Structure 1
Amino acid sequence: MPVATPTLAELRDVCQPQAKLGLRNGEHWAGRLYMRRLSLRATRYLVRTSVTPNTLTWAMVVAGVGAGAALLIPGIAGPLLAALLFQAFLFFDCVDGEVARWKRQFSAVGVYVDRLGAYLADAALLVGAGFRVAENASVAWVSVGLAAALGIVLLKASTDLVDVARTRSGLEAVTEEATEVRSARVNSVRRLAAAFKIHRITNGIEASLLFLAAAVVELFTGGHTPTEWAVAAVAAVAWLMVPAHLVSILSSSRLR
């Protein structure tokens, strides 16, 4: 007897819990804006197949790392493919969790690969961007791309290490309220930075769109300066955020 296809409403109640998606840092803005609408329709059919959540997570990893490699393609084709692959990365990142919740197939392997994929994808994109600029400028741009990648990895690691520290200390998972900074001065700086949202360019999705925009400008103006500026901007913002994020964590109740 064939398995009945669940309705979108049924799926939404189980696969897109507001307890998670409603958190300030629980969902990427693109997920809330459009990707969750697309992913739920794919999930509706995937839950009737033998595809596992971990398979979808590995597809996410391949798409993210592939985006970095795509930047080595000359012309606008490379950044365009990289941006599309990062949209695929976001799509699979949504679908794997939705399928896992509906099928109740949860595993530590899935969580591990998901986090590993986030690290690899963002780092690969910046390394690819560095090599792209170096092909038409100085080889030193490879180092700039690597520096940006390292900064982004450190940002992600500093967040994940909060969970590691709490687990090893026997504490419960961090709550949304614990992320509030206790220092009024630090909190003011944090709100000011959040208002401009410049930190978002350290995320692979936004960075891929930034590199695509730079490539479009280059298409009409010639030269490769826009991409150089884009890579430099991501590197600068990442390394400004590394100490700022550390201060934010230590000034909050996340480790208490």
Structure 2
Amino acid sequence: MAAAPVLEELREVCQPQAKLASRNGEHWAGRLYMRRISLRVTRQLVRTPVTPDALTWTMVVCGVAAGAALLVPGLTGPVLAAVLFQLFLLFDCVDGEVARWKGQNSAAGIYVDRLGAYLADAALLAGAGFRAAGWGEGGGFDGWVSLGLFTAMGVVLLKASTDLVDVARARRGLTVADDESTRPRSEGVATLRRIAAAFKIHRLTNGIEASLVLLAVAVVDVAVGSLDATRIALVVLAAVTWVMVPAHLFSILSSSRLR
């Protein structure tokens, strides 16, 4: 087996600063800690025959499994979901790093990566609905399940509205939108966006943050012997998601992303 590449050399190729510095191109957890971990995992994987596509599919499995884990009663389910979402983030970093090092970037890999993001976040919120309904503890298909599925649909719409910007630009023969183009043309809208960004409430629509919220409320549920905290959290997640859907659409249309 070939010697592992030097970390600095690997970082230069696999973690380009343009991507890490992009506000929309990198999750805060990636910048904070996961890229440090992923580079060491990548250092070992580039010495093996493993392909970036195989790593991407592993990421998808971890994300979907996180949603299914929420059906496990007690703290076990939410702990598994949170751990699986951290693995989802790890493989989301590693697949791209291995692809850059091996020069194996592909349209199929990008497609599966985006599909995985949709499936993982939707599965988690759907799983939260089943958990709130008491599945795994004798619960049935009720309004909590419907709320979880409704929230999952909202998260899919949020992601789709972002990805459709690239679709629209590509069909017009335009290049990929940069961070500058996301700024609203109206100063009033820009001010509202800055206020919303300051509270970071939109992050609750991401699976990584949502998995940690669901773990925290599960601790409360176990302490008090009910599912009330999970149900309240699901209502909050649903409200934030469906406020964000029209707000995000308005933000896109009021920016220069489609020009």
Q: Which residue of 1 aligns with 2:230?
A: 227
Q: How do 1:133-152 and structure 2 match up within 5 A?
A: 133-135=132-134, 139-152=142-155
The amino acid of 2:64's aligned partner reads V
1:138 CA displacement: 7.6
Pairing of 1:90-109 with structure 2 (within 5 A):
90-109=89-108
TM-score (norm. length: structure 1): 0.98
Letter matched to residue 237 of structure 1: V
Q: Secondary structure at the match of 2:240?
A: helix
The Cα offsets for residues 141-171 of structure 1, whole Å up to 9 and x where unpaired, read as 0111011101100000000000000001111
1:190 aligns with 2:193: yes
Q: Which residue is equivalent to 2:247?
A: 244
Separation in structure 2 between the aligned mates of residue 65 and residue 178 of structure 1, nearest angstrom: 33
Name the counterpart of 1:26: 25
Alpha-carbon distance, 1:217 to partner? 1.1
CA separation in 2, counterparts of 1:175 and 1:66?
33
- RMSD value over aligned CA atoms? 1.0
User: Counterpart of 1:156?
Assistant: 159
Listed one character per residue, the Cα deviations across residues 151-203 of structure 1 (whole Å, up to 9, x for unaligned) are 10000000000000000111111111101111111111111110000111100
2:256 counterpart of 1:253: yes
Residues 65-80 of structure 1 aligned to structure 2 (within 5 Å)? 65-80=64-79
Shift of 1:3: 2.0
Aligned amino acid, residue 127 of structure 1: A
The amino acid that maps onto 2:62 is A
Q: Which residue of 2 aligns with 1:42?
A: 41
| Pair 1:138–1:100, CA change in 2 (3 A) | closer
- Which runs of 5 or more residues in structure 2 are unaligned? none
State how far apart, in whole Å, the 1-side matches of 2:69 and 2:244 are. 27
TM-score by length of 2: 0.97
| Residue 218 (structure 1) aligns with | 221
Q: Deviations over 1:57-78 (max 9, x none)?
A: 0000000000000000000100
Mapped to 1, the partners of 2:187 and 2:228 lie a distance apart of: 40
2:180 aligned partner: 177
Percentage of matched positions with identical amino acids: 69
Q: How many residues align?
A: 255
Mapped to 2, the partners of 1:131 and 1:222 lie a distance apart of 17
Q: Distance in 2 between matches of 1:249 and 1:145?
A: 26
Match of 2:87 in 1: 88
Q: SS of 1:205's equivalent?
A: helix
Runs of 4+ in structure 1 over 6 Å off: none
Describe the superposition over 1:192-234 as per-residue Cα deviations: whole angstroms up to 9, x where unpaired.
1100001111000000000000001112222111100111111
